Amino acid sequence: GDSVTQMEGPVTLSEEAFLTINCTYTATGYPSLFWYVQYPGEGLQLLLKATKADDKGSNKGFEATYRKETTSFHLEKGSVQVSDSAVYFCALRRAAGNKLTFGGGTRVLVKP
Amino acid sequence: GAGVSQSPSNKVTEKGKDVELRCDPISGHTALYWYRQSLGQGLEFLIYFQGNSAPDKSGLPSDRFSAERTGGSVSTLTIQRTQQEDSAVYLCASSLWSLRQPETQYFGPGTRLLVL
């Protein structure tokens, strides 16, 4: 079945550091890929998405590129802020299906 | 506009009791999803409704779990004879529906269920 694997946290960084969260997936066909973020005390929010190979999703300084050859969708941000402290979830949705399959989540803590 | 709302925000119940969790989707969204977020299992899909089609119940963990969606809008997730392993945050999401592309799912704040 479908699965998403992402690096375990917590990831602790200093402000203005570079952030990478690795995400790889297993799925048949050509799924759409997503990053969701959950800020403390808040619900899940879509951060960015990509629907086909080589697409780059971007939002709020975060980027992720859909790599079909490596089945990956790594999340990056060049300079993190304290306000980026949250749990980040990688997810996929198969073209023919509708449910999201999530990775385990990665907690990121940015210190001033 | 209003987002997805869920009630109650927190629910504490005793083992063996039934609970009902409510979800109000974004107006105009025909697709509605329930997920569960627990420490041991992460985020799991439970059930999906789209318009008048038969729901996709493939994620329901046991027959103690059921859900309905009345009038194509509000949905209720019911857990009968609750067990301690049912303790989790239950998330509802809604989206538009398109044959051509997967529409973004918008999540509610969740209901935190604790079974004592």
Rounded average pLDDT over A11-40: 94
Kindly tell me if the per-residue pLDDT of B1 is higher than 60: no
**Chain A nearest CA to B27, separation (Å):** 18
Instruction: Say what the pLDDT of residue A97 is.
Output: 67
Kindly tell me if the per-residue pLDDT of A42 is higher than 90: no
CB A81 within 8 A of CB A110: yes
Mutate to test the interface with B, among A37, A51, A100, A107 (most CBs of B within 10 A): A100
What token pair was written down for B41?
């299992």
How many CA atoms within 13 Å lie on the side-chain side of A41? Answer: 0
Q: What is the dihedral of CA A84, A89, A90, A91, to 10 degrees?
A: -140
Percent of chain A exceeding pLDDT 90 equals 83
Ranked by mean pLDDT, which of A80-89, A94-103, B46-55, B91-100 comes out on top? A80-89
Task: Give the residue from B35, B102, B31 showing the smallest Cα distance to B73.
Answer: B31
Q: Nearest by CB to A44, from B44, B91, B102: name it.
A: B91
**pLDDT tens digit sequence for B46-60:** 999 988 888 999 999
If you measure CA to CA, which chain B residue comes closest to A35?
B104
Contact A89 B43 (CB under 8 A): yes
Mutate to test the interface with B, among A98, A102, A106 (most CBs of B within 10 A): A98
How many CA atoms within 13 Å lie on the side-chain side of B13? Answer: 23
Instruction: Say what the pLDDT of residue A18 is.
Output: 97
CB A74 within 8 A of CB A4: no
